[in-house]
Amino acid sequence: MKETIKNTTLADRLLFFLLISLSVSGIFISRDALSQGSDVIVEVDGKPAYTLPLNADKRLSIDGPYGPTLIEIEKGKVRVKESHCRNQICVRDGWTSRGAIVCLPNKLVIIVGGSNKYQKQGIDAITG
């Protein structure tokens, strides 16, 4: 073994370390590329309160300063079904599968996943 190492040149050793580095970083790259699935994150008063899978139909009621807000997840989309806030902007937003629904009076932000896929493709933001 010692003899083998002794016989290697500088280039051999550089190549050896390069291959080791590449294989180690490869573990992280491939882990990152795996699909994580989309989540719905509900933030109350600026802090994450609930994380729910987007692919499981569910209803969630959250109390706020203007009473309960009813959030509905169905067929990979989310909406605010009912809210007692004055302007109903969150309800009028309707169903969404990406981005966020905001209810400022109830201090509620619903963030819908899905952008990770595009971050991996080097997309920094989405318009539309």
Partner 1 sequence: MKMPKSCLYFLFFVCLLLTSCSPNKLSTYKKSKALMDTFVTITVVADSQETAEKVIENAFDVIGKYGDLINFYSDKSELSAINRSAGIHEVRVSPETLDTIERAVFVSEKSAGAFDPTIGPETKLWDFVKKIRPSDAEIKKNLPLVNYKNIIIDKGKSTVFLRKKDMLLDLGGIAKGYAADLAVQALKQKGIASGLVAIAGDIKAFGLKPDNKPWVVGIKNPRQKSSEDEIIAKVTLSDKAISTSGDYERYFIIDGQRFHHLLVPATGQPAYSCQSATVIADKGVMTDGFDNALFILGPEKGLELAKEMGLNAMIIDSKGAIHTTSGLQGKLIIERDH
Q: Give Rg (Cα) of the chain.
A: 24
**Least distance (Å) from partner 1 to the CB of residue 89?**
5
Give the footprint of partner 1 on residues 1-20 (CB under 8 A).
5, 10, 13-14, 17
**Are residues 110 and 89 in contact, defined by beta-carbon separation less than 8 angstroms?**
no
Of 95, 85, 14, which is closest to residue 54 (Cα–Cα)? Answer: 95
Task: Print the binding letters for residues 78-117 with partner 1: x by CB under 8 A, - otherwise.
Answer: --------xx-x-xxxx--xxxx-x-x----x-x--xx-x
**What element of type H or E holds 91?**
helix 89-92
CA distance 38 to 90: 21
When the beta carbons of 39 and 93 are compared against partner 1, the nearer one is: 93
Is 124 an interacting residue with respect to partner 1 (CB under 8 A)? yes
Q: Please count the residues of the chain.
A: 128
**Are residues 52 and 72 in contact, defined by beta-carbon separation less than 8 angstroms?**
no
Residues touching partner 1: how many (CB under 8 A)? Answer: 37
Site residues for partner 1 per CB under 8 A: 5, 10, 13-14, 17, 21, 38, 46, 75-77, 86-87, 89, 91-94, 97-100, 102, 104, 109, 111, 114-115, 117-118, 122-128
